[in-house]
Amino acid sequence: MNNFTDTLNTRIPDAIAPTNGSNGHETTSMTVTVVIPARNEEPSIEPIITGSQLYADEILVVDGHSEDRTSEIALSHGARVVTDNGVGKGDAIRVGIEHASSDIIVFIDADGSHSPDDIPGMVQPIKDGDADLVVGSRMRGGSDELHGDFLKFFRMVGSDIITLGLNYRFGASLTDTQNGFRAIRTSAARALNLVEDITTIEQEMGIKALHAGFVVTEIPSHEYERAHGDSCIQLRTVWFRYVYTWLKYLLFGKRSALKPLAIDEETIRKTPALSS
């Protein structure tokens, strides 16, 4: 596994920085919760759970009111199951953040599009104190879902444009900001003011993390073809939301990046991204 990371030159706000693991000191004792948002993923969720259990202290399945045996299978394999509010993946992500019991949260889809074997490399920069958010880059690891037809091409180009905007705005050098396969320090996730209800939460998370001064990195990660069914993302109906929220959070998201309770005068004073 390639553990190469591309660390941005940003800093962690002191008021919400980890007490251990900063300045490159490894904290291998940090625990990991793997959060699996799932809705009607009966055919594919079992290997995702069992594969993730090799690298996690807790498996948390956030069920989106499935009509099949998704929850039953998850429970039978030792996962903890909670139910989201039924409004989209963004809501499932927030529910997962709320219920996770570990120091680090890894989000992985239940459809078999990503390998749990990438989890150790994804969490290591956080354990080393070198990152707060680590995204699995499909541009570096390859993808079976971004090529082959016009919609996939449009999806890839749109992702590149969004990432380009982040790179110019924050002086970053990321290659993928849309992939849902990612790891984040739990305290950072709970500090971010995440409000998107659909898959736009993934770009919202990245933009607001950068606004808040968190360290964002990436590792190569391959995206495989879904094990079954079709993607729930319908670009014809959501493309405007992607563009709107991209511009909104990129240009005006600084003050709303953190939840009000996570922002105090000391945080603002010590965080140039918030005080400027």
Q: Domain ranges in the chain? A: 14-265
- The CATH architecture of the domain made up of 14-265 is Alpha-Beta Complex (3.90)
User: What per-residue confidence (pLDDT) applies to 156?
Assistant: 83
In the predicted model, residues of the chain with pLDDT beneath 70 are 1-28, 147-148, 229-236, 262-276
Written as one string, the DSSP assignment of the chain is: --------S----GGGS-SSSGGG---TT--EEEEEEESS-TTTHHHHHHHHHTT-SEEEEEE---SSSHHHHHHHTT-EEEE--SS-HHHHHHHHHHH--SSEEEE--SSS-S-GGGHHHHHHHHHTTS-SEEEEEHHHH-BSSSSSSHHHHHHHHHHHHHHHHHHHHHT---S-S--S-EEEEHHHHHHB-----STTHHHHHHHHHHHTT--EEEEE-PBPPPSSS--S--HHHHHHHHHHHHHHHHHH-STTSB-GGG--HHHHHH-HHHH-
User: What per-residue confidence (pLDDT) applies to 4?
Assistant: 27
User: What per-residue confidence (pLDDT) applies to 112?
Assistant: 94
User: What per-residue confidence (pLDDT) applies to 246?
Assistant: 95
